[in-house]
Amino acid sequence: MLRSMSTSLSSRRRPPAPPLPADPAGRELMAKFYRALGDPTRLDLLEFCAEGERTGNECVERAGLSQGRVSAHLACLVSCGLVSVRRQGRFAYYRVTDPRVAELVRIGQGVVADHAASIAACIRVTAPV
């Protein structure tokens, strides 16, 4: 009985994540991915666009920034392949391209919630300028 429980639990587990790339170029690519996520506005836009397709105007309203600044953040996310854009007439519609990106943001929220005091006190990582 115990063995069958163990087998059924392990069959539901996800396969292990591949290891961090061993070569410097692969590690730099991973760091670049995290830098794309390393802006509060881009994180907010990712979360917002993960809920469903959003117009550029909705993104501007959500972010509370100028259209130009939001456009630059969305362009970064599109350029990195994290968000896709669909144009229809005068409108642009944005959505998260990979559900794992939205999951990663949610996981990050949980980690931050569990370690908020330490992260806030950290002096080695500074906010973007």
Close Cβ partners of 105 (under 8 Å, ≥ 6 residues apart): 37, 43, 46, 47, 50
Quote the pLDDT of residue 19: 72
CA 116 to CA 92: how far, in whole Å? Answer: 36
Quote the pLDDT of residue 77: 97
Q: How many CB atoms lie within 10 A of CB 30?
A: 12
3-state secondary structure at position 96: strand
88 phi, psi to nearest 5 deg = -140, 110
Quote the pLDDT of residue 112: 95
Query: To 10 degrees, what angle do helices 24-37 and 40-50 make?
Result: 80
pLDDT tens, per residue, the chain with 129 residues: 444 444 444 445 667 777 778 888 889 999 999 999 999 999 999 999 999 999 999 999 999 999 999 999 999 999 999 999 999 999 999 999 999 999 999 999 999 999 999 999 999 988 766
CA 105 to CA 37: how far, in whole Å? Answer: 9
CATH no. of 25-121 = 1.10.10.10
CB 118 within 8 A of CB 108: no
CA 42 to CA 80: how far, in whole Å? Answer: 12
